[in-house]
């Protein structure tokens, strides 16, 4: 009887303990990777491109006369609303939101932009419908389903702003950079920036690291680009230096 009890306790210990330890390990690893992120403080990048700091990620706002376009919308709507107030931008004046991908640190703040049309890469739908997952069976979820899908190299015209979607998968299935007016590349989580140069992001966060690293070359071949503006690692206004290997 004693032996059965002992065996049962060990079994329960393993069944409960291993997943708990794995979870704690993941959590610690994630936090140590987050501490390497270098998001920008809330402010301006150029006269018409604003940045909001939301915990670990940046939200970008492009001004076009009376309307604004947001690229990635962070995860904390209350914080973003507060930060936007300091920039004098009203979330209800945002007419479009472009998502580089559907991870919660880029799409969790969607509810703040109620008047905005939502754009996302066609390939990113796979992250939402269960076809592809970041980790095990954990898919992504966003708070809206009325999105307009963007094909690779498709151009979207919003007022005087032209955004070209550039598909560079790996981090997620539809990871897409948006090139604004041929010059400003919003690169989401395709690459990090280290000492002014593009570098892979921590593999821990990728759906497919090999593909993600290959995809960095896609954004190295944009001859008109001048700025690279990343999701977590700041920006550079020296595109040529950033893409040089």
What's the CA gap between 233 and 91, in Å, rounded?
24
Per-residue mark of binding to Zn ion, 51-90 (x: CB under 5 A) = ----------------------------------------
Write down the least CB distance from residue 57 to Zn ion, Å: 5
Write down the least CB distance from residue 205 to Zn ion, Å: 7
206 makes contact with Zn ion (CB under 5 A): no
164 makes contact with Zn ion (CB under 5 A): no
105 makes contact with Zn ion (CB under 5 A): yes
How many CB atoms are located within 10 Å of the residue 155 CB?
11
Closest to Zn ion by CB, 39 vs 91, is 39
* Tokens 């893409």 found at: 243
- Interface with Zn ion by CB under 5 A: which range of 3-11, 110-118, 122-130, 225-233? 225-233
Write down the least CB distance from residue 188 to Zn ion, Å: 7
Write down the least CB distance from residue 159 to Zn ion, Å: 27
How big is the site for Zn ion, counted in residues (CB under 5 A)?
A: 3
What's the CA gap between 12 and 175, in Å, rounded?
41
Closest CA to 52 of 111, 106, 114: 106
Tell how far CA 94 is from the center of its chain: 19
Return the H-helix or E-strand segment holding 214.
Answer: helix 209-215
- Interface with Zn ion by CB under 5 A: which range of 12-20, 43-51, 85-93, 99-107? 99-107
189 makes contact with Zn ion (CB under 5 A): yes
Residues 6+ apart with CB under 8 A from 90: 84
Closest to Zn ion by CB, 94 vs 190, is 190
For the chain, list the strands marked E by DSSP: 43-44, 49-54, 57-64, 67-71, 94-99, 117-121, 147-150, 155-158, 161-167, 176-180, 184-188, 192-194, 197-199, 227-230, 235-236
Radius of gyration in angstroms for the set of CA atoms belonging to the chain, rounded to a whole number:
20
Please, are residues 56 and 232 in contact by the beta-carbon 8 Å criterion?
A: yes
Write down the least CB distance from residue 172 to Zn ion, Å: 10
- Interface with Zn ion by CB under 5 A: which range of 20-28, 46-54, 102-110, 138-146? 102-110
Write down the least CB distance from residue 141 to Zn ion, Å: 15
- Judged by the rule CB under 5 A, the positions of this chain that interact with Zn ion are 105, 189, 231
């Amino acid at each position: 009887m004693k032996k059965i009890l002992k065996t049962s306790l060990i079994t329960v210990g393993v069944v409960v303990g291993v997943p708990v330890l794995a979870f704690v390990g993941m959590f610690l690893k994630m936090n140590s990777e987050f501490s390497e992120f270098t998001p920008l403080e809330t402010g301006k990048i150029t006269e018409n491109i604003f940045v909001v700091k939301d915990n670990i990620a940046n939200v970008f706002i492009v001004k076009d006369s009376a309307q604004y376009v947001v690229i990635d919308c962070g995860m904390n709507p209350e914080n973003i609303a507060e930060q936007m107030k300091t920039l004098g931008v009203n979330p209800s004046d945002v007419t479009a939101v472009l998502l580089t991908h559907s991870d919660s640190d880029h799409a969790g703040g969607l509810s703040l932009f109620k008047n905005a049309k939502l754009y996302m890469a066609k390939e990113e739908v796979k992250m939402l419908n269960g076809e592809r997952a970041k980790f095990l069976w954990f898919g992504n979820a966003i708070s809206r389903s009325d999105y307009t899908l963007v094909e690779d190299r498709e151009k979207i015209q919003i007022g005087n702003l032209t955004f070209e979607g550039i598909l560079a998968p790996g981090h997620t299935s539809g990871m897409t950079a948006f090139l604004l007016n041929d010059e400003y590349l919003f690169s989401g989580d395709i690459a990090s920036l280290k000492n002014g140069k593009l570098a892979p992001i921590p593999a821990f966060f990728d759906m497919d690291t090999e593909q993600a690293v290959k995809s960095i070359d896609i954004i190295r071949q944009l001859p008109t680009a001048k700025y690279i503006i990343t999701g977590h690692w700041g920006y550079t206004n020296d595109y040529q230096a950033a893409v040089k290997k």
